[in-house]
Amino acid sequence: MTEDLVNVERIDVSTNPAGGCIEIWTLNRPNRLNALNRATHKELIQACDKAESDDSVRVIVITGAQSDPGDERPKPKAFAAGADISEFSGQGSDDVRPFFENNAWEKVWNLTKPTIAMIDGYALGGGTELALSCDIRMASEDSNFGQPEINLGLIPGGGGTQRLTNLVGYGISMEMILTGEMVPATRALEIGLVNSVYPSTKLREEVISLASRIAQKSPYTVKVAKRAIRSSLDLPLTQGILAERSEFVALFDTEDSSIGVEAFLSKKKPKWKGR
């Protein structure tokens, strides 16, 4: 990660199997409101590959760096204000297609580990889409969401028309995408776009607390749970129920299900093996 457009911080948390951590990925272009240029996508994709192959990483948090308030022209707070619009200028479909076919939104979405978007400020366009690629969204009261691509003569291209619609429903997704208007944090909470909203000063503490609680579960079972919930988005209900049953039954052959059941019966804390 030569340019450090994505800073990776590891926070060790008490987990078993021991040695687990939460990784916090901070988009680091605050003077561009963390706009997602191609180089940032590349670093995010690399971070996904590394985290996926590292068993110690239990939960991934994605957030945006804030500009230095002491700067001559301090910038507003941002998670990410979208794709980097300067990279769109003069581009035709053949120029943009290869990038959009291999982008960080899908890579983050396809992570098998749980992900949390920690949003403090603007999350617009590709920024809202990056948050939508995460499993859970936690925001500050100062956050604003939106899909303003319509104002550029475009539509969302990082999964927004699909994942936003899945999350908030057809009518609200239509309204957001067709008007391009921003939705403040309070409204985002009402429509289910975010899971929770906190004062900016409390957000990080709350995110780490939730991530730590998840990190204490069996990492194997957490992945199975994520896979089963995810299948609800792709499968018709009857097939989804069958998929869940097959995942559930298979868990009875894992060490962690025996450990969990025995720990409950003997009133002890489970010591997971992660298998």
Q: Which is nearer to ligand COA, 83 or 177 (CB)?
A: 83
Which residues is 78 bridged to in the sheet?
122
72 catalytically annotated:
no
Question: Closest approach of Cβ 162 to ligand COA, in Å?
Answer: 16
Q: Which of 129, 175, 181, 262 is labelled catalytic?
A: 129
Q: Which is nearer to ligand COA, 156 or 274 (CB)?
A: 156
Distance CA 60, CA 25 (A): 7
Question: Closest approach of Cβ 72 to ligand COA, in Å?
Answer: 11
149 catalytically annotated:
yes
Binding site for ligand COA (CB under 6 A): 32-33, 35, 75-76, 81-86, 122, 124-126, 148-149, 152
| Cβ neighbours for 202, distance < 8 A, ≥ 6 positions apart | none
Question: Closest approach of Cβ 32 to ligand COA, in Å?
Answer: 5
Q: Which of 23, 43, 149, 244 is labelled catalytic?
A: 149
Q: Which is nearer to ligand COA, 82 or 159 (CB)?
A: 82
Q: Which is nearer to ligand COA, 76 or 199 (CB)?
A: 76
Distance CA 275, CA 273 (A): 6
Edge-to-edge strands, sheet with 122-124:
78-80, 122-124, 144-146, 183-184
Question: Closest approach of Cβ 40 to ligand COA, in Å?
Answer: 11
Residue 167's nearest CA partner among 128, 201, 209, 202 is 128
Contact 127, 77 (CB under 8 A): no
Secondary structure of residue 216 in the 3-state scheme: coil
Q: Which residues are catalytic?
A: 129, 149
